[in-house]
Amino acid sequence: ILNVEQSPQSLHVQEGDSTNFTCSFPSSNFYALHWYRWETAKSPEALFVMTLNGDEKKKGRISATLNTKEGYSYLYIKGSQPEDSATYLCAFRLKTSYDKVIFGPGTSLSVIP
């Protein structure tokens, strides 16, 4: 069984706070790591695809880093806004089966105005 873990499970922050969450995955057999943003009653939307150890990606106030040797990725949100409230999912592709995409349980973020 492939374990992709995310922490914390949920997070409540004040508007303007910066925050970060973690995705852990098996460091062996790594092919790619995805981050998605999932708003209530909508479909998940891709934020980043990361493939190389040390990768850093940025999109506006959101950024992500990747450490494939130790099997984790961080997602950072700088100056959180209420519209950032969503569930953030990471997903893992295996090297030996890169067409299979396994999701973590997600981190639910609520930004309080």
Partner 1 sequence: DAGITQSPRHKVTETGTPVTLRCHQTENHRYMYWYRQDPGHGLRLIHYSYGVKDTDKGEVSDGYSVSRSKTEDFLLTLESATSSQTSVYFCAISPLGAFLHFGNGTRLTVT
The residues facing 87 across adjacent strands are 38, 108
DSSP annotation string for 20-38: EEEEE--STTEEEEEEEEE
Three-state secondary-structure class, residue 8: coil
Query: Does 86 help bind partner 1 (rule: CB under 8 A)?
Result: no
Among 58, 81, 100, 112, binds partner 1 (CB under 8 A): 100
**Toward partner 1, which CB reaches closer, 99 or 113?**
99
Assess 112 for contact with partner 1 (CB under 8 A). no
Binds partner 1 by CB under 8 A, chosen from 46, 58, 69, 79: 46
